[in-house]
Structure 1
């Protein structure tokens, strides 16, 4: 069985968004299959953003205390699930700030001279993105640029692979039937820990 961490990247702490429903459906499926699941809701965390190279290079000991449990959970997990809405063509700033704090040098990358070495090998990930536009338009017209950035330049760079993705488009006007289909799709992915 896998240890799964779901990083809920929607910054609204109210918890009543489609992203939250998708995350809970994934967790439900995973728990039903016997996987260990932990939730991290970044919208409920109050942490500072990094503002200089000195902040970035300060190492693991500079991780804000409120993020240490999240950092430990990510390090202990076999599978990470990132769920967020597409805002201005990319992930919300709070999610990016979370990743900068939690995946800092000395934690996700080696620290010191030379090119950094990935320290999060033997983990897989799924990225789930919701958006107002059609998912196919994002994937093929906009070339899924921010998704590829997260896959290659952040998660892949720290050693996580394979990295799979699921895109949900036109979410504002979705029917109850379609929403139910999406939730069942997430339950199925959770059962498979994929």
Structure 2
């Protein structure tokens, strides 16, 4: 039994979208296979953007502290988000900056940051409007490399898998079901 935290990072909580469906399916399938699951829907989380290094070093808000508690609890973290202008949405980036503060995710020292979230793993699921085959050619998965190396690994979280869903805005029902079936297989084994 694995403790899983699903972070659904689409900032729009009013309109239904593929990221919500992916999170729903992942959570349901993981629970049906005996895993413990918590979920954060980023559109429902309220927090200010950080504007200085001193703000980053301050204690987090109550909502961010609750999210930190879920990260500390989890063995595996699943990040689901759309790619916007080649990057994660600004709200998700702001959330990660709030979440991964000194004293929780890393320690600051003269020799550089030391990770505090070692032993955890993560999977990243990204939706995009461009064909997924063009993403590595145009962006050389820059955003995913930055997320995996400069965010997750920095704090000690080991990236395991990526799922990149291209043409998400034009998926047929059959293609959508195929992606959801692939995700069910991953969720069953907490991957």
Q: What TM-score bracket applies, with the shorter chain setting the length?
A: over 0.9
User: Once the 2 structures are TM-superposed, how far is the Cα of residue 142 of structure 1 from its aligned partner?
Assistant: 1.8
Do residues 122 (structure 1) and 119 (structure 2) align? yes
User: Once the 2 structures are TM-superposed, how far is the Cα of residue 112 of structure 1 from its aligned partner?
Assistant: 4.1
Q: Deviations over 1:87-133 (max 9, x none)?
A: 01000000011101111111100134431101111001000000000
**What is residue 86 of structure 2 aligned with on the other side?**
89
Shift of the 15–74 alpha-carbon distance from structure 1 to 2, 3 Å rule, reads farther
Per the normalisation by structure 1, the TM-score is: 0.95
User: Once the 2 structures are TM-superposed, how far is the Cα of residue 140 of structure 1 from its aligned partner?
Assistant: 3.3
User: Once the 2 structures are TM-superposed, how far is the Cα of residue 7 of structure 1 from its aligned partner?
Assistant: 0.3
The 5 Å alignment of 1:67-146 reads 67-146=64-143
1 or 2 for the larger relative contact order (CA 8 Å, sep ≥6)?
1
CA separation in 2, counterparts of 1:162 and 1:83?
A: 13
Per the normalisation by structure 2, the TM-score is: 0.96
Aligned residues: 191
- Structure 1's consecutive aligned runs of 4 or more residues displaced over 2 angstroms after TM superposition are 111-114
Gaps of 5+ in 2: none
Gaps of 5+ in 1: none
Partners of 1:79 and 1:125 within 8 A in 2: yes
**What is residue 38 of structure 2 aligned with on the other side?**
38
